[in-house]
Amino acid sequence: METTAALRPENSLRPPQREFEVLLPVGYDDGGGTVRRRAWIRKMRGHEEALLYDPSLAPARLVTELLSGCLVRLEDLSPVDPRVIAGLYSADRNYLLVELRRATLGDHMAASYRCPACAVTVRVVEDLSTLPVRRMGEGERPGPITVELEDGAVGRNGDLHATVVLELPRGEDEDFVAPMLERDPLKARDALLLRCIRRFGSLPGAELDAYGVKLLRELTLGDRLRLRAAIDHAAPGVELRRTVTCEECGAHSEHLLDVTDFFGEGQEEATGSGRRSSTWPSISTGRGMTS
Ligand SMILES: [Zn+2]
């Protein structure tokens, strides 16, 4: 009877730890053939709230930090190394953010959308428990995504390159493009897409690296959309596209989930609080994020 909680003052200030079990849409592949998908998270605390106010954290790093605190176990891994969290697919990271929000603040979130037909602001309370989640099947892994471009790109020797092989983005890819995010969001988005390209026609890797983002800028708009849509359609994870009905004019319109007040309580004004409640990695190419 020597180890009751009362005799351990280091524990006396902590709320009881309740863990929530979730199943990752893709899972962490350690390279050795083991895929870990069952994860346990705990509610956000003041430490994590402080992270939301830290302007030095780029969105991707912020997500990694939040999850480093709150992802308490990933199957047999506990604690979970931040490098593992950065190596997770964006789909899993976005899914974990949604689950973290639900565990901490509940399922309901205030959101507003502008009706494209009559410009009225439509305010709704989103129920995060109803967002559809697309998960890989048991033993299924995200394979390479092959896209046939309509126009393609012409290389230095005049060859046309039109078959592109893509892979889904991970946290470390978002982290890599983070420095461009504020100054040039389109460049950041292109750089992220570029990091997902495993093969572009028969372009040698060195030539692909040398072209960099310029290669994507040379593509026609249609081809650029084809690449983004291919990632969107292949991406597992939380479906963030929403159909909103305007109560004024009755028009239906498509939107991405409004995450302005993602880590807010849905009551206070998010703007001006200093809190970066739009914590969502806004350029993530998780499901629905590239359109
Ligand atoms: Zn309307």
Cα 249 to Cα 245: distance, rounded to the nearest angstrom: 9
Ligand 1 center to residue 112 CA distance, Å?
13
CA of 172 to the centre of ligand 1 (A): 40
Q: Are 67 and 90 in contact (CB under 8 A)?
A: no
Instruction: Please give all residues whose CB falls under 5 A of ion ligand 1, grouped by chain where several chains appear.
Output: 115, 117-118, 120, 246, 248-249, 251
Give mean pLDDT, residues 228-245. Answer: 89
Contact in structure between 154 and 218 (CB atoms under 8 Å): no
Average pLDDT of the chain? Answer: 86
For residue 117, report the distance from its CA to the centre of ligand 1, in Å: 5
How close is the Cα of 121 to the center of ligand 1, in Å? 8
Phi, psi of 250 (to 5 degrees): 80, 0
**pLDDT reported for residue 79:** 95
* Domain residue ranges of the chain, discontinuous segments joined by +: 15-136+237-256, 145-234
Give the pTM: 0.86
Per-residue confidence (pLDDT) for residue 9, from 0 to 100 = 56
**Residues sharing a CB contact under 8 Å with residue 122, sequence separation 6 or more, in sequence order:** 112, 113, 114, 115, 244, 245, 246, 247, 248
| Dist. CA 113 → ligand 1 center (Å) | 10
In this predicted model, which residue has the larger pLDDT, 219 or 277? 219
pLDDT at 15 (0 to 100): 79
Q: Which has more confidence, 127 or 4? A: 127
Angle between helices 221-234 and 185-196 (to 10 degrees): 60
**CA 248 to ligand 1 center in whole angstroms:** 5
Highest mean predicted confidence (pLDDT) among 88-102, 170-184, 224-238: 88-102
Q: Find the 253 Cα to ligand 1 centroid distance in Å.
A: 9
pLDDT at 162 over 60: yes
Residue 238 pLDDT level (bands cut at 50, 70, 90): very high
Specify the higher pLDDT residue, 239 or 40: 40
Secondary structure class of 24 (helix, strand, coil): strand
DSSP-based three-state secondary structure for 72:
strand
DSSP state of 23: E
